[in-house]
Amino acid sequence: MNPDIPLQLLGGISARVFLRDYWQKKPLLIRQAIPDFQSPIDPDELAGLALEEEVESRLVLEHGERPWEMRRGPFAEDAFSELPERDWTLLVQSVDQFVPEVAELLENFRFLPSWRIDDIMISYAAPGGSVGPHFDNYDVFLLQGHGKRHWKVGQMCDSQSQLIEHADLRILAEFQDSEEWTLEPGDMLYLPPRLAHWGVAVDECVTYSVGFRAPSAAEVLTHFTDFLSQFLPDEDRYSDADAQPVSDPHQIQHDALDRLKGLLAEHMSDERLLLTWFGQFMTEPRYPELVAGAEDLQEEDLLGSLEQGAILIRNPSARLAWSEVDDDLLLFASGQSRLLPGHLRELLKLICAADALHSENLEQWLIDEEGRNLLCELVKQGSLGFADE
Ligand code: SIN
Ligand code: CO
């Protein structure tokens, strides 16, 4: 993808300019980002998903049993018939994992790393419906799918911002309007992390939120050090073979701190381990139970099926990414990593990007032992699966 061509999705600016001027910095309203956009899912289908056990959903009622009542799904079939005429929202998380036509929308965002994308949440709101003024810690693209929604953006927030007292929702106590727009189907609003926003349904409306994932510094440190510590032997310790006689035995001298800093730096700067951890962490699936594989699959059965025309597709719940270390490659698949020889580069790219894998596009890889083995492992793990299953 050429980063300098103007994109309709970004209102006629290029990916490069968008990233430079807006991404993580300021909001951007894009009229007709997707011209004539027709929501691939209708409100009834969305409500249907909210009945399913494995789907995460919420209902927010502005005037429920208490202000801003939140109910968690899965919902019973009659849950929606008893709702008031207005002022409520149904939110369904990760619809891209359940509806392939929704997942296809992510193709529009290929100018960003796929491992930064979290999911597509879809909301259906009755007139007046809103989840209140709030901020999120992640970037979001809000694409209007159906009906109209009025969006206001406000101040930049952080963990010190005052919230109203609420057990489940993070609603801002104060909202300072700065700009507002009414979005129609196909219009899209990009919001950087921590910018206060407040969307209210003008009429019955559907809004798509393309959300991103960004680990917090606290997560990076705790998870990486946990990962790292598995590889550290017990004898690897604070050491002071260079110690000098002390003047006061009760004082912690700064040379001790320097040794500690050295110990930390030595381990924290292991790039190979950092990359391995990061790839695994960023490809952890949201619903690991949906990445279940054919554990007892034999390589010859896989080859036989492919020869007979079987098609392999990525499990929509799986997350894949690849990277390089020296002359080798790393493939990250749903929280696991594999070190692979450099000649498999094009295969890794194909596995991460292709809509379908079959005997034709896999041809050269099926006669490569390591290529075959990798494909088999990915089917066993559940990141890849047969299309007709
Ligand atoms: C919504 O779709 O109603 C809420 C999305 C958001 O503000 O994060
Ligand atoms: Co939000």
Show the domains of the chain with their CATH numbers: 6-212 (2.60.120.650), 288-386 (3.40.366.30)
Determine which residue's CA is closest to atom 1 belonging to ligand 1: 123
Which atom of ligand 1 lies nearest, measured to the CA of 122? 2
Residue 312 sits at the vertex; the CA angle it makes with 307 and 316, to the nearest 5 degrees, is: 175
Q: What are phi and psi of 217, to 5 degrees?
A: -60, -40
Which atom of ligand 1 lies nearest, measured to the CA of 125? 3
Distance in Å, CA 125 to ligand 1 centroid: 10
Helices (H), the chain: 15-21, 43-49, 100-103, 217-229, 254-268, 271-282, 299-307, 345-353, 363-366, 369-381
Helix (H/G/I), strand (E/B), else coil: 257:
helix
CA–CA gap between residue 47 and residue 93 (Å, rounded): 12
Distance in Å, CA 157 to ligand 2 centroid: 12
Which atom of ligand 1 lies nearest, measured to the CA of 131? 3
- Give the alpha-carbon dihedral of 340, 345, 346, 349, to 10 degrees: 80
Q: Which ligand sits closest to the CA of 131?
A: 1
For ligand 1, say whether the CB of 139 is within 6 Å of any of its atoms: no
What residue type is 312 in one-letter code?
A: L
Which atom of ligand 1 lies nearest, measured to the CA of 123? 2
Residue among 91, 131, 181 whose CB has most ligand 1 atoms within 8 A, to mutate: 131
Q: What are phi and psi of 100, to 5 degrees?
A: -55, -35
**pLDDT of amino acid 4:** 97
- Which residues of the chain carry a pLDDT beneath 50? none
Distance in Å, CA 66 to ligand 2 centroid: 21
CA–CA gap between residue 330 and residue 336 (Å, rounded): 10
What residue type is 98 in one-letter code?
A: F
**pLDDT of amino acid 389:** 52
CB 280 within 8 A of CB 311: no
Residue among 61, 93, 122, 123 whose CB has most ligand 1 atoms within 8 A, to mutate: 123
CA–CA gap between residue 4 and residue 37 (Å, rounded): 24
For ligand 1, say whether the CB of 199 is within 6 Å of any of its atoms: yes
Helix (H/G/I), strand (E/B), else coil: 91:
strand
Distance in Å, CA 198 to ligand 1 centroid: 8
pLDDT digits (tens, 9 = 90+) for 116-148: 999 999 999 999 999 999 999 999 999 999 999
Assigned token pair, 231? 């590889």
CA–CA gap between residue 338 and residue 378 (Å, rounded): 10
Determine which residue's CA is closest to atom 4 belonging to ligand 1: 131
Q: How far apart are the first and last CA of the chain?
A: 33
Structure pTM? Answer: 0.94
Residue among 39, 91, 181 whose CB has most ligand 1 atoms within 8 A, to mutate: 91
What residue type is 119 in one-letter code?
A: D
Element (H, E) at 92: strand 88-92
> What is the per-residue burial (b if ≥16 Cβ within 10 Å, else e) of 365-376?
bbebeebbebbb
Which atom of ligand 1 lies nearest, measured to the CA of 197? 7
CA–CA gap between residue 218 and residue 12 (Å, rounded): 37
**pLDDT of amino acid 1:** 82
For ligand 1, say whether the CB of 136 is within 6 Å of any of its atoms: yes
For ligand 1, say whether the CB of 89 is within 6 Å of any of its atoms: yes
CB 334 within 8 A of CB 286: no
Residue among 46, 120, 207 whose CB has most ligand 1 atoms within 8 A, to mutate: 207
